[in-house]
Structure 1
Amino acid sequence: MKNLAIFCTLFFLTTSSFAQRSVSVTIDDVPNTHLYKQQNFNSFLQRKLDSLRIPVAIFINEGNLQLTNEVDKNKDLLKTWISKPYVTPGNHGFEHKNYAEVGFEAFKNDVVQGELLTRKFAKELNKESKYFRFPFNGAGNDSLEQVTALNFLADRNYISTPFTVESEDWLYAILYEDAISAKDKKRAEWIGNQYVDFTVRLFSYFDSLSTQLYNRPIKQIYLCHDNSLNADYLPRIIDELKKKEYQFISLDQAMSDPVYEFQLYYYGKAGFSWIYRWIPDVVLRRKMMQSEPLNPEIQSAFEERNKKKN
Structure 2
Amino acid sequence: MHTTVVSCRFLLTSLFIVGCLIPACAQKRMCISIDDLPTVSRVYRTVAGQDSLTDRLLAQLKRHNVPAIGFVVGEKLMSQSQPDSSQLRLLTRWLEAGMELGNHTFAHLGYNTLSAAAYQQDVAGADTLLRPLLQAANRRLRYFRHPYLQRGNTVSKRDSLVRYLASQQYVEAPVSIDNADYLFSAAYDVALLRKDSALASSVGKQYVDYMLACVHYYEAQADSLFRRSIAHVLLTHANTINSQYLGDILARLTAEGYQFVSLHEALQDPAYQSQDDYVRNGGISWLHRWALTQGKRGVFFKGEPDVPAAINALATGQ
Further displaced range: 278-287 or 243-252: 278-287
In the alignment, is residue 306 of structure 1 matched against residue 313 of structure 2?
A: no
Aligned match of 2:289: 277
Deviations 1:165-214 (A, max 9, x none): 12210000000000010011111111111111111112112112212221
Write the mapping of 1:154-303 to structure 2, written as runs, cut at 5 A: 154-280=166-292, 284-295=296-307, 298-303=308-313
Alpha carbons of structure 1 residues 197 and 67: separation in structure 2 relative to 1, 3 Å: farther
Further displaced range: 120-129 or 16-25: 16-25
Aligned match of 2:39: 32
Q: Which amino acid aligns with 2:261?
A: I
| 8 A Cα contact 1:173 1:228, kept in partner | yes
Alpha carbons of structure 1 residues 18 and 291: separation in structure 2 relative to 1, 3 Å: farther
Deviations 1:201-230 (A, max 9, x none): 121121122122211100000000001100
CA-based RMSD: 2.5
What is the CA distance between 1:30 and its match in structure 2? 0.4
Aligned match of 1:110: 122
Deviations 1:112-141 (A, max 9, x none): 010123111211212111100111101121
Further displaced range: 186-195 or 298-307: 298-307
Percent pairwise identity: 27
What is the CA distance between 1:282 and its match in structure 2? 7.3
| 8 A Cα contact 2:30 2:232, kept in partner | yes
Aligned match of 1:6: none
Q: What is the TM-score with the length of structure 2 in the denominator?
A: 0.85
Q: Which one of 62, 65, 72 corresponds to residue 60 of structure 1?
A: 72
What is the CA distance between 1:302 and its match in structure 2? 1.5
Deviations 1:211-267 (A, max 9, x none): 222111000000000011001000000000011011111100000001111110311
Q: What is the TM-score with the length of structure 1 in the denominator?
A: 0.87
| Secondary structure at 1:172 match in 2 | helix
Alpha carbons of structure 1 residues 140 and 259: separation in structure 2 relative to 1, 3 Å: same
| Secondary structure at 1:115 match in 2 | helix
In the alignment, is residue 51 of structure 1 matched against residue 51 of structure 2?
A: no
| 8 A Cα contact 2:278 2:293, kept in partner | no
Q: Which one of 51, 69, 81 corresponds to residue 41 of structure 1?
A: 51
Further displaced range: 30-39 or 203-212: 30-39
Cα separation, 2, equivalents of 1:307 and 1:33: 18
Q: Which one of 134, 143, 168 corresponds to residue 146 of structure 2?
A: 134
Cα separation, 2, equivalents of 1:70 and 1:283: 47
| Secondary structure at 1:165 match in 2 | coil
What is the CA distance between 1:99 and its match in structure 2? 1.0
Cα separation, 2, equivalents of 1:51 and 1:259: 29
Alpha carbons of structure 1 residues 49 and 67: separation in structure 2 relative to 1, 3 Å: farther
Cα separation, 1, equivalents of 2:118 and 2:74: 16
Alpha carbons of structure 1 residues 196 and 67: separation in structure 2 relative to 1, 3 Å: farther
Instruction: Give 5+ residue unaligned stretches, structure 2.
Output: 1-17
Alpha carbons of structure 1 residues 258 and 304: separation in structure 2 relative to 1, 3 Å: same
Q: Which one of 76, 86, 107 corresponds to residue 73 of structure 1?
A: 86
Further displaced range: 208-217 or 21-30: 208-217
Further displaced range: 32-41 or 238-247: 32-41
Structure ID, larger Rg: 2
Further displaced range: 29-38 or 238-247: 29-38
Write the mapping of 1:63-102 to structure 2, written as runs, cut at 5 A: 63-66=75-78, 71-85=84-98, 87-102=99-114
| Secondary structure at 2:282 match in 1 | coil
Instruction: Give 5+ residue unaligned stretches, structure 1.
Output: 1-10
